[in-house]
Amino acid sequence: MTFASYSALPSGVELSPVSKNDISAGQPFLIINNLVKEFGGVKAVNNVSVTINKGEIFALLGSSGCGKSTLLRMLAGFETPTSGQLLLAGEDIINLPPYRRPINMMFQSYALFPHLSVWDNIAFGLRRDGMPKDQVAERVENMLDLVQLTNYAKRKPHQLSGGQQQRVALARSLAKRPQLLLLDEPLGALDKKLRERTQMELVNILAQVGVTCVMVTHDQEEAMSMASRIAIMSEGHILQIGKPAEIYETPDCRFVADFIGNINMFDGTLIEDEPDHVVIESQDCLHYVGHGITGTIGMALSVGVRPEKISVGFEMTANSANCVKGKIIELAYMGSYTVYHLQLTSGMVLKASTANTLRHDTHRPQWGDTVFASWSSDAMVVLTR
């Protein structure tokens, strides 16, 4: 696998210390520069560089063992980097112990004290820091109002729902007003419906506070719905950084394309290269791609098509390009959409999902039908690696 290189330092950004008050929202705030962490000669984090802007929610997304949690623990100060640089608001924090870093971390388990009330859980860290009682009370009341739990202040954690416990943990993390908030699988303990509802609540709360946030997750939908930018990690490397739509629609490599959502991949050869289009021949069809790519005739390429960009019907399109014939071998009605699995002549199984716009569609393809699947010239992504 070839790994992309990402510079931690945008043009014009220096590594000299600056006051956190000089940094405005949207400007570089956390700079991770050539960070490495080895365990017994194995690089769990391998030369990672990335710049995170003030006020953004940045997601580290990857499967188990990719290095994302190790990277988060180094930011928190729980792991010491083998080499590299960590700059927060211009200050090198790599040698600072966790308690001296202006950083708070919210764990997946929430780590609430079961014997303390919601109010006392939020106040715990403030009291440990020696904050005066009146200031503690004011800060806790503000946090309760922020997370909409004022009426639950006297309850114990076991008397709360999972979503409410998550908000208490968030309030406690924000009460000390950290410059950087770290979220480790923040919604992993919640069921699907509650997780989806809580995602937007969490984003809105973080936006109100304006805190910079780095979150770790293996849940693609969670990262896509919450983060302003996402870094895809694999084997200790960052493969691609971008906004959710960029990662999904224009993946840099086959790994990212496969990892984010579902995609059908055709292996083919470039047979025509014109200024306004290219034609790639695969075993199943000709792929007419309406945007130029850099390549040479005979070059091996992969063509990716997302299932939701594919139309399924009984008639072949006027242009035979970007169209395949297959038999429906699996069908799943999902309510708002239907998923089809088509067996093509090559043996490949194509996945397509179509919106159910009609309540009673008597012409919808059924199990065992032979159908045509087609897509537009701008629906494909062409990959060279």
Reported confidence tier of residue 11, pLDDT bands at 50, 70, 90 = very low
Q: What is the pTM of this model?
A: 0.85
pLDDT in tens, 64-113: 999 999 999 999 999 999 999 999 999 999 999 998 999 998 887 778 99
Most confident range (mean pLDDT) of 117-126, 161-170, 269-278 is 117-126
Q: Helix, strand, or coil here: 20?
A: helix
Q: What is the pLDDT of residue 292?
A: 67
Q: 108-112, 270-274, 323-327: lowest mean pLDDT where?
A: 108-112
What is the three-class DSSP state of 142? Answer: helix
pLDDT at 117 over 90: yes
**Average pLDDT for 297-309:** 95
Question: Which sign, positive or negative, has the C-alpha torsion 30, 234, 3, 225?
Answer: negative
pLDDT averaged over the chain? 88
Read off the pLDDT of each residue in 370-374 and give the average, rounded to a whole number: 96
Mean pLDDT of 230-245: 97
Nearest to 165 by CA among 111, 115, 244: 111
The answer to whether residue 176 scores a pLDDT higher than 80 is: yes
Residue 366 to residue 351: CA distance in whole angstroms: 14
Residue found by looking up tokens 């859980």 in the block? 121
- Residues 54/229, Cβ–Cβ less than 8 Å: no
Give the integer Cα–Cα distance in Å for 182 and 316.
52
